[in-house]
Amino acid sequence: MNPLLARLHPYPFERWRELTQDIVPAPGLAPISLGIGEPRHATPALIEEALVKALPGLSRYPSTLGEPALREAIAGWVQRRYGVTLDPARQVIPVTGSREALFAFAQTVIDPTKPGATVVCPNPFYQIYEGAALLAGAQTAFVASDPARGFAADWDAVDEATWARTQLLYVCSPGNPTGAVMPLAEWQRLFELSDRHGFVIASDECYSEIWFGDEADPARGAPLGGLQAAMRLGRDDFRNLVMFTSLSKRSNVPGLRSGFVAGDTALLKAFLLYRTYHGSAMGPLVQAASIAAWGDEAHVRANQALYRAKFDAVLPLLQPVLDVQRPDAAFYLWAAVPGGDEIAYARGLLAQYNVAVLPGRLLARDVGGRNPGAGRIRMALVAPLADCVEAARRIAAYTLTYRPTSREPL
Ligand SMILES: Cc1ncc(COP(=O)(O)O)c(C=O)c1O
C-alpha cells in the first residue's frame, strides 16, 4: 500500500458527521443544510439540450486535449471576462472539474526528490490542496487568513527558508470559505516571491462568477483573475502561473464535471503529458454542453441575482446577532460565533433547530497552536431562498439564547 495514503486527513464533512453522531435533531423542524457548498440552483436548459444533442458522440474516444471548438470557446470566455488573450492550442486544457485538476497538477509539478519539497496553502483552505501535496510526496506550509486583514492570507508570515523550499503555492480567490478576493497588490507580491524562489502558483478561481456588484462599481465588480492580474503587471507569458476554474458554480452543473486550466505554456505541456497517462479526457457530450455554457452569460447573471437575493434577505437577520459580513464573492457566510467555540455552537444549532452549518476548525489546520478557522462557522447559501431565510431566522433565535460554555475538545 502507498504509505503516503496514511498521511491524508479525513474530509471536513466526515469529521462533522462523527462530531454529530450522538445528536438527535429537533423532530418538529424540517432539516436545513447550510453545511455542504454544493450548488443547488437549476441547470440551465441550454446546457441540458446541448448535452442531449451530442449523444451520438458517445461512439468516439475523446482526446485529453479536448476538441479545438471547446478550447476556442474557453479562450473566448477568458477574453470576454478578463480581457486576456490565450492561445487555445497551447494555453488551455479542459479538465473534468477543478477538483481533479488541482489534485493532478501537484503530481505534475512537485519534485519529491528535492529535500523539503513544500506546498504552501492558505488556511482555512480547500482540503484537496493538502491531499495533493501529501500524495505528491511534499510537505505543507499553511498561511493564515485573518479577519483583521479582510481575510487576506498573511504571505509575509512565511519565512525565507520555507519559500526557498516551496515548489507550489495554492491560492483561492474568491476564497472558500472567506469569500475574499485577492487584489492586484497581493498578486504582485506573490509574483515577486515566485520569481525569486521559482515556485509555481496554482490559482483556484472556481467561485469567480458568484459576485454581487455591478460592472460600473469596480470595488464590487467582477473578481480579478490570476491571468488578468499577470497581464496588468506585464507578465503576458503567465510564467509559473496556472488558473483553475469550472462550470460547477458558474452554471450550476456540479454533476457535469467540466472545467479548464489555462496559463503557462510549459507547465501545461507537462500537465497534458501527465493527464494522457492519468486518463482524464472529457467526454464528448460534456464537451458539447460546456461549449454552450461558456458561450452564454445570461444564465450566469440570473444565477448571481439568486445568490444576491439570498445575501440581501439573510444578512439583516443575522447581523444583529452574529459578527458576519457580506463577502466580496462566492456563496458562503463566514461568521464569528459568540464565545468562540464554534463546534459547541454548531452542535447546539443542529440539536435545537435542525440547521447544519460547518464549524470553521474543520476547514483549517492548527499552526503554532492556533487554528484560524476556530470560532467561525461556514454557511453555504445554496438552499432555496425560503430555506435560507428560515435557517437565518432559526440561527438568530438560537443565538439570542445561546450561552457559551467551556470549550469542548475536538
Ligand atoms: C475552493 C474550491 N475549489 C475547487 C472546488 C472543486 O469544484 P469542481 O471540481 O466542481 O470544479 C471546490 C468545490 O467545492 C471548492 O470549494
State residue 351 phi and psi, 5-degree precision. Answer: -65, -45
Instruction: Give residue 19's pLDDT.
Output: 94
Alpha helices by DSSP H, 34-157 = 45-53, 68-82, 98-109, 128-135
pLDDT (mean) for 87-106: 98
- Cβ neighbours of 249 (radius 10 Å): 27
- Read off the pLDDT of residues 123-146 as tens digits, 9 standing for 90 and up: 999 999 999 999 999 999 999 998
Query: In the structure, what pLDDT confidence band is assigned to residue 213 with cuts at 50, 70 and 90?
Result: confident
Contact predicate 47/54, CB 8 Å: no
Identify each DSSP E strand in 247-370 by its residue range: 259-263, 332-336, 355-356, 358-359
CA of 106 to the centre of ligand 1 (A): 16
Q: Is 91 in the pocket of ligand 1 (CB under 6 A)?
A: no
Contact 129, 119 (CB under 8 A): yes
Residue 221 pLDDT:
82
Per-residue pLDDT of 141-162, as tens digits, reads 999 998 888 899 999 999 999 9
> Prior bond to 124 cis, omega within 30?
yes
Percent of the chain with pLDDT over 70: 97
Listed in sequence order, the residues at least 6 apart from 356 whose beta carbon sits closer than 8 Å to its beta carbon are: 16, 31, 32, 33, 34, 35, 346, 349, 350
Q: What is the pLDDT of residue 409?
A: 46
What's the rounded Cα separation, in Å, for the pair 138 and 134?
5
Cβ of residue 98 lying under 6 Å from some atom of ligand 1: yes
Mean pLDDT for the stretch of residues 370-381: 97
| 38 Cβ contact list (under 8 Å, min separation 6) | 254, 380, 382
| Predicted local distance difference test score (pLDDT) of residue 14 | 92
How many whole angstroms separate alpha carbon 368 and alpha carbon 212? 36
C-alpha to C-alpha distance for 103 and 122, rounded to whole angstroms: 16
- DSSP label at residue 5: G
Q: How confident is the model at residue 378 (pLDDT cuts 50, 70, 90)?
A: very high
The residue whose CA is least distant from atom 15 of ligand 1 is: 126
Distance from the CA of 128 to the center of ligand 1, in angstroms? 9
Q: What are residue 192's phi and psi, to 5 degrees?
A: -60, -45
In the chain, pLDDT over 90 holds for what percent of residues? 93
Cell numbers of 265, please?
Answer: 505554456
Write out the three cell numbers for 228: 488578468
pLDDT of residue 26: 87
Residue 125 Cα to ligand 1 middle (Å): 11
Closest ligand 1 atom, CA of 99? 9
Q: Which three cell numbers stand for residue 305?
A: 441575482
Say yes or no to pLDDT of 280 above 70: yes
| Ligand 1 center to 29 CA (angstroms) | 30
Measured distance CA(137)–CA(140) in Å, rounded: 10
Atom index in ligand 1 nearest the CA of residue 175 equals 1
Give the mean model confidence (pLDDT) for residues 299-311: 96
Q: For ligand 1, say whether the CB of 176 is within 6 Å of any of its atoms.
A: yes
Is 172's C-beta closer than 6 angstroms to any atom of ligand 1? yes
Q: Which domains does the chain have, with CATH numbers?
A: 3-42+299-401 (3.90.1150.10), 45-296 (3.40.640.10)
Grid coordinates representing 40 are 443547488
Q: pLDDT value at position 368?
A: 87
Coil, strand or helix: which one is 337? coil
Report how far apart, in Å, the C-alpha atoms of 371 and of each of 125, 126, 142, 150, 187 are. Answer: 12, 15, 10, 17, 25
User: Is any ligand 1 atom within 6 A of the Cβ of residue 99?
Assistant: yes
Ligand 1 pocket check: which of 11, 13, 98, 121 to mutate, most ligand atoms within 8 Å of Cβ? 98
Residue 89: which of 306, 276, 265 has the closest Cα? Answer: 265
pLDDT of 410 higher than 70: no
Q: Assess whether the C-beta atom of 246 lies below 6 angstroms from ligand 1.
A: yes
Q: Where are the beta strands (DSSP E) in 134-258?
A: 139-144, 166-172, 200-204, 241-246
Q: Are 295 and 73 in contact (CB under 8 A)?
A: yes
Contact 101, 95 (CB under 8 A): yes
What residues contact residue 10 under an 8 Å CB cut-off, 6+ apart? 18
- Which residue among 13, 43, 126, 280 is best mutated to probe the pocket of ligand 1, counting the most ligand atoms within 8 A of its Cβ? 126
177 lines ligand 1 (CB under 6 A): no
Mean pLDDT computed over 32-58? 95
Closest CA to 47 of 291, 329, 409, 366: 291
Residue 204 CB–ligand 1 contact under 6 Å: yes
Name which residue sits closest to atom 6 of ligand 1, judged by CA.
99
Which atom of ligand 1 sits closest to the CA of residue 259? 11
Q: Flag whether pLDDT at 47 surpasses 80.
A: yes
Q: What is the predicted pLDDT for the residue at 218?
A: 53
Q: Is 206 in the pocket of ligand 1 (CB under 6 A)?
A: yes
User: Cα 248–251–256 angle (5° rounding)?
Assistant: 45
Strand pairing of 200-204 and 241-246? parallel
SS3 119: strand
C-alpha neighbours within 13 Å on the C-beta side of residue 259: 27
Centre of ligand 1 to C-alpha 37, Å, is: 9
CA separation for the pair 45, 200 (Å, rounded): 38
Could you tell me if the CB of 254 is within 6 A of ligand 1? yes
